[in-house]
Amino acid sequence: MSSATRANSAADAAQTKDGHGHDSVEGEPHGSVRGYVTGFVLSAILTAIPFWLVMGDVIGNARITGFVVMAFAMVQVVVHMIYFLHMDTRSEGGWTVLALIFTATLVVITLVGSLWVMHHLNANMMPMSAEDMKQHMP
Amino acid sequence: MATQADTATSGEEEALRFYETEDHPHAPATLIGFWLYLMSDCLIFAVLFATHAVVGRNYAAGPSPADLFDLKLVALNTAMLLFSSITYGFAMLEMQKDRRAATLLWLGLTGLFGIVFVCLEIYEFAHLIHEGATPQRSAFLSSFFVLVGTHGLHVSLGIVWLAVLMIQVGVRGLEVDNKRRLMCLSMFWHFLDVIWIGVFTFVYLMGTLK
């Protein structure tokens, strides 16, 4: 079997798997009712819990609540990526995931870098509030 | 020998790949290109989030998030955007089955949820400004209005895009071009929902925490 024939039969198989004619856009992400409902239910739960934690002040410690809420947000972003945006490593030959990883890297650098630099700048500035004054004065 | 075989196979390949030259061979390129646009849009939001993270606690002796934000309203807003995400998903499923009326119905519902979202946000902004919590009041409020306002502007333009596409689908049906456009808007819409997760978590929930 020559490479061309193999490539063609693979493409044919991909088309048959698509299940619809040539008027569909190729590379189209395929969702299902089940997938969307799963994503929706998961998102609803992952949204409701952080709101409940903050509004009801369930944990009682702002710092821990903050971290928990942030963890829920990260999980929910992944849920949306998988069930709503149909991200997987195979779509577009992996380029969407590669672009996403690159963007995520830049986002982390932007966020962590800004906070890091500005925190140090703040720490070296004159104290602004009375509380800060007390902390910084001998 | 090898070169001969190569040219032979490439010739064969060209002859057999008739289905690719038919309609729109560039459709997949459009989708990856639109994805790259969304990633660049993501960077805009990253910068706005970073700004808010830096100045979000600088109230300039003005109101703090705990004084201003009504978390029930935010929860309602979040629900609207989440509902619109799943209705858009159902629209895409109907589109794949080539059912025009059902697609338009779900798209219409998506648009309605989007409009409610934007209206609630405008109400919230108007309420804040009425209370004197204007963007000029403090660094926290400046960055809050820019970040949430940019997201709201995206959703508003998404609604305009949705309305235009509904007219196009209504007039010309679910043809290849319209399907491709609907898929781009689908990515845009779900992407905005992902950004909103960041907004309600970092700005509203974590802002309200002492």
Which of A20, A28, A109 to probe by mutation at the B interface, max B CB count within 10 Å?
A28
**Residue A18 pLDDT:** 41
Which chain B residues touch A21 with a CB distance below 8 Å?
none
A84 with B51: Cβ contact below 8 A: no
Say which of A22, A27, A69 has its CB closest to residue B206: A69
CA distances from B79 to A42, A47, B38, B196 (A): 13, 9, 23, 11
**Residue A93 pLDDT:** 80
Distance CA(B56)–CA(B207), nearest Å, equals 8
Residues A79 and A99 in one domain: no
Residues A118 and A136 in one domain: yes
The per-residue pLDDT of chain B, averaged, comes to: 90
B205 with A51: Cβ contact below 8 A: yes
Which is more confident, A18 or B76?
Answer: B76
Which chain B residues touch A70 with a CB distance below 8 Å?
201-202, 206
**Residue B155 pLDDT:** 98
Q: Residue A22: pLDDT above 70?
A: no
The total number of structural domains in chain A stands at 3
Q: Residue A120: pLDDT above 80?
A: yes
pLDDT, mean of residues B86-103: 95
Which chain B residues touch A8 with a CB distance below 8 Å?
13, 16-17
Indicate the DSSP class of residue A126.
P
**Residue B30 pLDDT:** 87
pTM above the 0.90 mark? Answer: no
Residues A138 and A103 in one domain: yes
Residues A55 and A17 in one domain: no
Q: Contact at 8 Å (CB) between B53 and A111?
A: yes
Residues 6+ apart with CB under 8 A from A93: none
Question: Lowest-confidence range among A11-25, A88-102, B64-78, B96-110?
Answer: A11-25
**Residue B210 pLDDT:** 75
Say which of A55, A80, A103 has its CB closest to residue B197: A80
A54 with B191: Cβ contact below 8 A: no
Q: What are the backbone dihedrals phi and psi of residue A88, each rounded to the nearest 5 degrees, phi first?
A: -150, 165
- Domain limits for position A72: 31-86
Q: Contact at 8 Å (CB) between B122 and B148?
A: no
Indicate the DSSP class of residue A60.
-
Question: Lowest-confidence range among B23-32, B42-51, B58-67, B199-208?
Answer: B23-32
Say which of A8, A55, A73 has its CB closest to residue B201: A73
B98 with A102: Cβ contact below 8 A: no
Residues A82 and A38 in one domain: yes
**Residue B182 pLDDT:** 95
**Residue B16 pLDDT:** 62
Residues A41 and A55 in one domain: yes
Give the number of A-B residue pairs with CB atoms closer than 8 Å. 157
Question: Lowest-confidence range among A2-11, B75-84, B115-124?
Answer: A2-11
**Residue A128 pLDDT:** 61
Residues A35 and A75 in one domain: yes
Question: Lowest-confidence range among A19-23, B107-111, B153-157, B160-164?
Answer: A19-23
Residues A39 and A72 in one domain: yes
Residues A35 and A82 in one domain: yes
- Which contacts of B121-126 are long-range, i.e. CB under 8 A and separated by 24 or more positions? B121/B77, B121/B148, B121/B152, B122/B152, B123/B73, B124/B70, B124/B73, B124/B77, B125/B149
Distance CA(A103)–CA(B116), nearest Å, equals 31
Quote the percentage of chain B above a pLDDT of 90. 83
Quote the percentage of chain B above a pLDDT of 70. 87
Tens digits of residue pLDDT in A51-61: 999 999 888 89
Q: Which residue type is seen at B126?
A: A
Q: How confident is the model at residue A133 (pLDDT cuts 50, 70, 90)?
A: low
Tens digits of residue pLDDT in A61-101: 999 999 999 999 999 999 999 999 988 888 778 889 999 99
B134 alpha-carbon distance from chain centroid: 26
Q: How confident is the model at residue A129 (pLDDT cuts 50, 70, 90)?
A: low
The DSSP annotation for B25-67 comes to TTHHHHHHHHHHHHHHHHHHHHHHHHHHHHHTT--TTS--HHH
Distance CA(A35)–CA(A9), nearest Å, equals 29
Which chain B residues touch A78 with a CB distance below 8 Å?
none
- Residues in A 81-110 with any Cβ partner in B closer than 8 A: 81, 84-85, 92, 95-96, 99-100, 102-103, 106-107, 110
Q: Which residue type is seen at A43?
A: S
Handedness of CA A107, B40, B54, B150 (dihedral sign): negative
Residues A75 and A118 in one domain: no
Tens digits of residue pLDDT in B134-168: 999 999 999 999 999 999 999 999 999 999 999 99
Distance CA(B105)–CA(B127), nearest Å, equals 33
Residues A78 and A97 in one domain: no
Which chain A residues touch B191 with a CB distance below 8 Å?
85
Residues A10 and A21 in one domain: yes
- Residues in A 46-75 with any Cβ partner in B closer than 8 A: 47, 50-51, 54-55, 62, 65-66, 69-70, 72-73
Which chain B residues touch A103 with a CB distance below 8 Å?
39, 42-43
CA distances from A4 to A11, A103, B13 (A): 10, 36, 6
Q: Residue B1: pLDDT above 70?
A: no
